[in-house]
């Protein structure tokens, strides 16, 4: 038997075994379960977001795909944030995904951008700060999931820190690669249309009875999102860059520079330093030294506090 034929036989045996043991469902069953999940999300997630942010979102079912979990994750393509999660008495491992465009647009709204000035976000991998802030988004998605599956015991879902799909470690092998289903839903906010996805092993999904949660006030004792976002931004680590203007030189001189040559600063008195983060100017400083360390002393702010927060989000 050729290597290719052996691989086909092995794949067929694995698929047949999964069907016989109830770990691989037919497309009609998966589509029905996917639509049930989407119905719960469409009813409850917009209410949660509205009550906590004042923003209107729409959620709609976009289909359910079947396949190996690693393949389904890879099929999302780029520009998605992912979270690995587990929920006791339901699924020991599942993955939640959210399009980067939705998180970017939501954060812009929450940091004060005017809806009429906003265009659809150009999808890209999320920055470190945006990933920090996406924790709250995934918590809402996971809480709706917990209510929909009604797992016994009342346990809370456990979520790993979010990461960009581009940064997800490569799969170790096929031994733990379960047959899974990816339930996709579109999520729209203003001009931004993205998706959220739930990827769960079929052995757990096929045993799930989806039920609508009881209506309750999700913000009764919660701090507003805008305050949480501002606080999270202030706690986040940001890399600063400092620029110092040097004396102008001719191209002929520059082309002849060698190791050990010295280029003077442009300023003859206090040396002006422009400090920036993420390409945005933050402070005007003066260059100095403290002990063995070179330093800069802040002399002036380029922008207000609110403008700085928006800059750091980009």
- What is the average per-residue pLDDT within 60-84? 92
Kindly report, residue by residue over 78-89, the tens digit of the pLDDT. 899 999 999 999
Check: CB of residue 130 under 8 Å from CB of residue 108. no
CA distance 138 to 209: 22
What percentage of the chain reaches a pLDDT higher than 70?
76
Show the DSSP H helices in 158-295 as ranges.
Answer: 202-205, 225-235, 251-255
Range among 106-115, 123-132, 220-229, 272-281 with highest mean pLDDT value: 123-132
Is residue 289 over pLDDT 70? Answer: yes
Mind listing the domains of the chain with CATH numbers?
A: 3-235 (3.40.1550.10), 241-313 (2.30.330.10)
pLDDT at 178: 84
What is the structure's pLDDT at 271?
A: 87
* Residue-level pLDDT at 240: 82
Read off the pLDDT of residues 125-178 as tens digits, 9 standing for 90 and up: 998 888 888 898 999 999 999 999 978 888 899 999 999 999 988 776 555 578
CA–CA distance, 32 with 216 (Å, rounded to integer):
26
* H/E run at residue 151: none
**Residue 52 C-alpha from the chain's centroid:** 19
Task: With a cut of 60, say whether residue 4 has pLDDT above it.
Answer: no
Rounded Cα–Cα distance for residues 200 and 178 (Å): 9
Task: Tell me the C-alpha distance between 203 and 182, whole Å.
Answer: 13
Residue 219: per-residue pLDDT: 44
Treating both helix axes as pointing N-terminal to C-terminal, what angle do 128-149 and 100-110 enclose, rounded to 10 degrees? Answer: 110
pLDDT digit string (tens) for 89-136? 999 999 999 999 999 888 888 777 666 667 777 888 998 888 888 898
Computed over every residue of the chain, the mean pLDDT equals: 82
The per-residue pLDDT for 107 is 81
Per-residue model confidence (pLDDT) at position 270: 84
What token pair was written down for 282? Answer: 């933050």
Distance (Å, rounded) from C-alpha 96 to C-alpha 73?
A: 10
- pLDDT, tens digit (0-9, with 9 covering 90-100), for 18-59: 665 666 778 899 999 999 999 999 999 999 888 888 888 999
Residue with tokens 């999964």: 18
Q: 91: buried, middle or exposed (CB in 10 Å: 19+, 13-18, 0-12)?
A: buried
**Over residues 208-218, mean pLDDT:** 69
Quick check: 218 pLDDT over 50? no
Q: Given a cut of 50, is residue 9 above it in pLDDT? A: no
- pLDDT class of 253 with cuts at 50, 70, 90: confident
């Amino acid at each position: 038997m050729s290597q290719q034929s052996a691989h086909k036989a092995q794949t067929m045996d694995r698929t047949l075994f999964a069907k016989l043991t109830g770990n691989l469902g037919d497309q009609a069953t998966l589509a029905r379960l996917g639509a049930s999940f989407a119905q719960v999300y469409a009813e409850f997630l917009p209410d949660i977001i509205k009550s906590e942010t004042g923003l209107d979102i729409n959620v709609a079912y976009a289909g359910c795909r079947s396949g190996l979990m690693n393949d389904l994750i890879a099929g999302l393509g780029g520009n998605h944030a992912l979270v690995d999660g587990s929920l006791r008495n339901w699924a020991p491992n599942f993955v939640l995904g959210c399009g980067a465009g939705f998180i970017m647009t939501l954060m812009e709204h929450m940091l004060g951008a005017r809806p009429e000035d906003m265009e659809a976000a150009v999808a890209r991998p999320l920055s470190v700060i945006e990933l920090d802030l996406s924790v709250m988004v995934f918590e809402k998605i996971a809480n709706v999931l917990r209510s929909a599956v009604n797992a016994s015991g009342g346990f809370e879902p456990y979520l790993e820190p979010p990461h960009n799909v581009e940064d997800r470690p490569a799969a170790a092998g096929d031994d733990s690669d379960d047959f899974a289903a990816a339930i996709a839903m579109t999520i729209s906010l203003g001009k931004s249309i993205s998706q959220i996805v739930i990827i769960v092993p079929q052995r757990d999904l096929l045993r799930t009875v989806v039920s609508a949660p009881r209506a309750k006030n999700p913000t009764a004792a919660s701090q507003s999102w805008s305050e949480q976002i501002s606080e999270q931004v202030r706690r986040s680590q940001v890399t600063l860059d400092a620029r110092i203007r040097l004396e102008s030189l001719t191209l002929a001189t520059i082309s002849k520079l060698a190791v050990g040559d010295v280029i003077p600063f442009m300023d003859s008195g206090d040396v002006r330093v422009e400090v920036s983060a993420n390409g945005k100017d933050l402070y005007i400083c003066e260059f100095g030294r403290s002990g063995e360390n070179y330093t800069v002393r802040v002399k002036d702010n380029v922008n207000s506090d609110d403008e700085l927060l928006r800059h750091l989000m980009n």
